[in-house]
Amino acid sequence: MRYVFVVQGEGRGHMTQAIALKEYLTKAGHEVSGVLIGKSAGRKIPDFFYEQIEAPAETFLSPNFVMDKQKQGLNLTHTIWYNLKNLEEYRRSLNLIDEHLKKWQPDLIINFYDPLIGIYSLKNKMSTPLICIGHQYFSLHPNFNFPAGNLVKKAVFQLFTRLTGYGSTAKLALSFKNFPDLPQKNLFIMPPLLRPEIKQLTTERQDHILIYILNSGYADEIRAWQIKHPEIKIKVFWDNHEFGDNYFPQPNLSFHLINAEKFLEALKTCRGFMSTAGFESICEAAFLGKPIFLRPTKKHFEQKCNALDAERSNIGIKDEYFDFDRFIKHIENYDTKQTEFKNWVEQAEKKFLEIIENKTKKQN
């Protein structure tokens, strides 16, 4: 069977999920004919994605969020204005999607939470079936827990999630834990999709704390704490090209551009992992038995949901700022086994192939 991926390029989680699923599909004798990657003007698709996906790849401009001046949180007004201003570009993106789907002729399209494929499905009568994958689809399940209040943000988040999955024959909701499927709603609860490299790593504990930040504005907060605790070694990975790779503002504090090999080595050997609350990096750290601290990006409702979900699943702890003192205490008392989570992750390959192959056969 031939598959085409559509991947949201914000952060790295959807990209690593696509890499993992591509591995499952090719092992089973299928082909990923091409990949369409939604990007924003302010972010570069990391080289590791092109190197590891090993399929023809095309980028297109896709709706995205705009950061505040401090580069710490979302600016809703600027986000709305930015996306309205780019409506003509999004029309071109829809044409590009149409052109490549006709060129690649897939048996099934798999969308990793990019909104334009939902809009494309709204505009076109699609003969090719569509499956959507993401942790966000778990928000449509009654067992998902939302932060208290935030009713408007919850409604907007769920509306956007439904848009990305419009016209799909199945929504595969990635989750930290197993819950009942809702086949009547085409909603299936799935294990996290982790890259093969993660499962091959032998974890060890060295002396550094590893941090992954989606937005560069948190660098000052990290640096201010480390100045007071210069004996604590901290490695930070980010997407800020202004300072280049291997930036050392202080002897025991380093900043590195996102790089698959370097990040995995730092994750494998860290004593603990701190992050803005992207689902995929949480799962990778949990699988390796690392203590985890989550600080959701400001005004990023989805990340607040991720952090709450992780805490309630005993995957990590959370707060509104990087509380290093609390995290160091957490490290000392952490159970690194995570047996239930690892067993759940190991079911991923079988479950994904079963549903995807079944949905493809029904259409052929």
pLDDT in tens, 256-296: 998 888 999 999 999 999 998 889 999 999 999 999 999 99
Residue-level pLDDT at 67: 61
Q: How far is CA 141 from the centre of its chain?
A: 19
Distance CA 191, CA 225 (A): 36
Show the CA angle centred on residue 79, arms to residues 78 and 81, nearest 5°. 60
Domain boundaries, the chain: 2-191+347-362, 197-343
pLDDT under 50: residue ranges of the chain: none
Distance CA 176, CA 283 (A): 8
- Per-residue model confidence as pLDDT tens digits over 318-331: 999 999 999 999 99
Cβ 100 vs Cβ 120: under 8 Å: no
Residue-level pLDDT at 135: 95
Beta carbons within 10 angstroms of residue 245's beta carbon: 12
Show the CA angle centred on residue 25, arms to residues 188 and 103, nearest 5°. 100
Residue-level pLDDT at 116: 94
Q: What would the CATH number be for the domain defined by 197-343?
A: 3.40.50.2000
Q: Provide the b/e sequence for 296-328 (b: ≥16 CB within 10 Å).
A: bbbbbbbbbbbbbbbbebebbbbeeebbbeebb
Q: How far is CA 333 from the centre of its chain?
A: 28
Distance CA 20, CA 293 (A): 24
Rounded to 5 degrees, what are φ and ψ at 85?
Answer: -65, -25
End-to-end CA distance of the chain: 10
Residue-level pLDDT at 364: 55
Q: Residue 355: CB partners within 8 Å, gap ≥ 6?
A: 131, 170, 172, 188, 190
What are the contacts of 264-267 at 24+ separation with CB within 8 A? 264/197, 264/198, 264/201, 266/208, 266/210, 266/235, 266/237, 267/201, 267/210
Cβ 174 vs Cβ 193: under 8 Å: yes
**Bridge-based pairing state of the strands 247-250 and 253-257:** antiparallel
Strands, E assignment, the chain: 2-8, 31-39, 57-61, 108-112, 130-134, 170-174, 187-190, 208-212, 233-238, 247-250, 253-257, 272-275, 292-294, 317-318
Cβ 328 vs Cβ 289: under 8 Å: no
Of the candidate CATH numbers 3.40.50.2000, 3.30.750.200, 2.40.320.10, 3.30.420.40, the domain formed by 2-191+347-362 belongs to 3.40.50.2000
Cβ 272 vs Cβ 331: under 8 Å: yes
Q: Residue 343: CB partners within 8 Å, gap ≥ 6?
A: none
Residue-level pLDDT at 265: 94
Output the pTM of the full model. 0.89
Residue-level pLDDT at 334: 84
Cβ 290 vs Cβ 315: under 8 Å: no
Residue-level pLDDT at 309: 94
